[in-house]
Amino acid sequence: MNRSLERGIAIMRAFKPGLSELGNAEIAERTRLPKATVSRLTRTLVSAGMLERDAAQRVYRLAPAVLSFAHAMRLSSPILSVIAPLMRAEATRRHVNVGLAAADGDMMVYLESFRYSPRASFRTVVSGQRVPVELTSLGRAYLWAIPREDRDRELAAIAKRRPKGSRQFRHDIERSFAELDELGYCAVRWQPGVMAVATPLRFDELEPHSLNMSLASDEPLADARRRLGPWLLDLKRRCLEKLESNAVRDTY
């Protein structure tokens, strides 16, 4: 591992929605890096065009070049380019929200989200948005799909991150795993008025992705699960058929 590169990436990861402007001291606190190291690396990142410096406020923000990387990634995705049209058509036809996400550490990152739920939600989801692995159907479908040793490591990390209520988190996640074993999808309501079902997409050469379908609704979770689950599995089947025809082979 190249330590300087690893530390520079850690600095870039410190910038998140709500934390778009950070000074060196804040970056050092969030990355647990020495202040002198942070100061040296932020100067390097500015000269490389990855960060912008606001001299008046003495803070940094991500530079436009970072967005170009995200755009290039989405265009090059062998999965998204194939199934996005199917996702959009299903969201329009069913009047639901359909999303595709991949893991990034302890978060799931939306690669795409089509929002067609007729009832407005306070939460707006866009490409690049991150949601917690342990709280969401997307994250639990991902955890279920990865190898057992990786799953156990992730569950231990969750217990360490959330010492309060860790037993309840483990119980809820195991219940989602049982749904995935039996039904092929799991249902979660982690925010008021919004419920979602998710199912994994597993591949030979790529990390597992999660496909979800959500709806702003106050109906009982069991009722929404019975309604959305079959729609999601049908969409998954069609997505996998499309991917198979484009030589992205599924292993599930």
Q: Please name every residue paired with 191 in a beta bridge, in sequence order, or none if there are none.
A: 194
Tokens representing residue 151 in the block: 């799953």
The Cα 82–Cα 101 span in angstroms is 14
| Beta bridge partners of residue 112, listed in sequence order | 100
Q: For the segment 130-177, what is each residue's pLDDT rounded down to a tens digit?
A: 899 999 999 999 999 999 999 999 999 998 888 888 888 899 999 999
DSSP string, the chain: --HHHHHHHHHHHT-BTTB--B-HHHHHHHHT--HHHHHHHHHHHHHTTSEEEETTTTEEEE-HHHHHHHHHHHHH-TTHHHHHHHHHHHHHHHTSEEEEEEEETTEEEEEEEEE--SS--S----TT-EEETTTSHHHHHHHHHS-HHHHHHHHHHHHHH--TTHHHHHHHHHHHHHHHHHHS-EEEEEETTEEEEEEEE-BSSS--EEEEEEEE--S-HHHHHHHHHHHHHHHHHHHHHHHHHTT--B--
Low-confidence residues in the chain, pLDDT < 70: 117-124, 247-252
What torsion do the CA atoms of 160, 161, 163, 165 make, to the nearest 10 degrees?
Answer: -120
pLDDT at residue 190, as a whole number: 84
Say what the pLDDT of residue 118 is. Answer: 63
Q: Would you state the pLDDT for residue 119?
A: 61
CA dist., res. 176 & res. 150, Å (int)? 17
User: CA-to-CA distance for 88 and 94, rounded, in angstroms?
Assistant: 10
Amino acid in position 210: S
What is the residue whose two structure tokens read 């000074």? 23
* pLDDT score recorded for residue 120: 56
Q: What is the CATH number of domain 3-63?
A: 1.10.10.10
User: Closest by alpha carbon to 88, among 77, 101, 78, 97?
Assistant: 97
Q: What is the pLDDT of residue 114?
A: 93
Domain boundaries, the chain: 3-63, 77-245
pLDDT at 249: 52
Instruction: Give this prediction's pTM.
Output: 0.85
The two three-digit tokens of residue 55, written as one number = 């001299």
Superfamily for domain range 77-245: GAF domain (3.30.450.40)
Helix 35-47 vs helix 24-31: crossing angle, to nearest 10: 110
Torsion 240-241-242-247 (CA) sign: positive
